[in-house]
């Protein structure tokens, strides 16, 4: 089982330029036992409102993490993960990739919303730009941050890596690794840390290996870990795919990785 304290509770594609309008909702939605502060943050991309969730550590100059949700949108799962990281000393913005109030409730909606972004990578990058700017306006140095994501969100994190936006690392948990036509990792500036289940029936081990070869050829620093018996979405506690062993090991490795990236936090 996981430990209680941590779960308490580029051709056509240019590097991103942070420049989206952001408005912040009223402070103090809740506070956790570890004295972190959480709130909703709204921001605008392409004249549409988006609503993220911000968990702030109770310390000055905490490192920044952008967290991208799974294909079912920003849910209590991502909010919980953001709070878990905040208790470890990080400021975390769980971004919204679908729009304020847009929370899919069926597989069909999940496919439609994510499919639209897979087909429009420029929009996907604008949404990342808006979320990063929202994090910046909360007082964070987002260019020294880390972007992570779960499933669909892991795929989005790798999109940001390929964009050339400067960050310390990009971390997909059980994401997908296909590279869109015209893209590459030639502009990637940070390290890539990948967590993948060997029993994933959605993203093959062959695809995992191909990513490793691609990153090696592009000279991108990377670490890639697989977990035997772990299926797709193995970190989603409460689901029938949850694998406690793989979740605990990947989470602990992630925290160790962050601690090495930010030794003075």
What does 132-181 look like in DSSP terms, one character per residue? Answer: HHHHHHTT--GGG-EEEEETHHHHHHHHHHHHT---SEEEEES------T
The pLDDT, as a whole number, for residue 261 is 97
Q: What is the pLDDT of residues 77-114, one digit of tens each?
A: 999 999 999 999 999 999 999 999 999 999 999 999 99
The pLDDT, as a whole number, for residue 265 is 80
Could you tell me if 250 and 235 are in contact, meaning their C-beta atoms sit under 8 angstroms apart? yes
User: The whole model's pTM is what?
Assistant: 0.89
Could you tell me if 52 and 32 are in contact, meaning their C-beta atoms sit under 8 angstroms apart? no
Q: Would you kindly state where each structural domain of the chain is located, as residue ranges?
A: 4-186
Q: Under CATH, what is the fold of the domain 4-186?
A: Rossmann fold (3.40.50)
**Which range is least confidently modeled, 10-19, 106-115, 134-143, 230-239?**
10-19
CA-CA distance, 192 to 158, in Å (whole number)?
8
Q: How far is CA 142 from the centre of its chain?
A: 13
CA-CA distance, 214 to 208, in Å (whole number)?
10
Structure tokens at 158: 């790798």
Output Rg (C-alpha) for the chain, integer angstroms. 17
CA distances in angstroms from 91 to 22, 53, 63, 109, 193, listed in the order given:
17, 11, 6, 30, 19
Confidence of residue 34 (pLDDT cuts 50, 70, 90): low
């Amino acid at each position: 089982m996981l430990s209680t304290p941590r779960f308490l509770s580029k051709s056509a594609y240019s590097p991103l330029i942070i420049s989206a309008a952001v408005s912040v909702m009223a402070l103090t939605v809740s506070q956790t036992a570890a004295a972190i502060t959480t709130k909703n943050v709204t921001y605008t991309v392409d004249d549409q409102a988006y609503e993220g969730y911000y968990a702030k550590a109770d310390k000055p100059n905490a490192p920044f993490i952008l967290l991208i949700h799974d294909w079912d949108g920003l849910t209590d799962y991502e909010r919980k993960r953001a709070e878990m990281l905040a208790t470890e000393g990080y400021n975390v913005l769980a971004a919204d990739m679908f729009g304020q109030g847009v929370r899919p409730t069926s597989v069909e909606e999940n496919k439609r919303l994510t499919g639209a972004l897979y087909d429009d990578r420029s929009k996907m990058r604008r949404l990342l730009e808006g979320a990063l700017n929202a994090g910046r306006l909360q007082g964070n140095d987002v260019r020294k941050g880390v972007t992570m994501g779960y499933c669909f969100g892991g795929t989005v994190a790798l999109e940001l890596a390929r964009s050339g936006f400067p960050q310390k690392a990009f971390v997909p948990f059980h994401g997908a690794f296909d590279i869109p036509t015209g893209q590459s990792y030639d502009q990637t500036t940070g390290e890539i840390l990948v967590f993948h289940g060997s029993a994933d029936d959605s993203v093959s081990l062959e695809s995992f290996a191909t990513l490793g070869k691609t990153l090696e050829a592009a000279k991108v620093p990377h670490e890639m870990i697989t977990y035997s018996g772990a299926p797709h979405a193995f970190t989603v506690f409460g689901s029938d795919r949850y694998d406690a062993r793989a979740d605990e090991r990947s989470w602990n490795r992630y925290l160790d990785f962050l601690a090495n990236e930010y030794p003075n936090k």
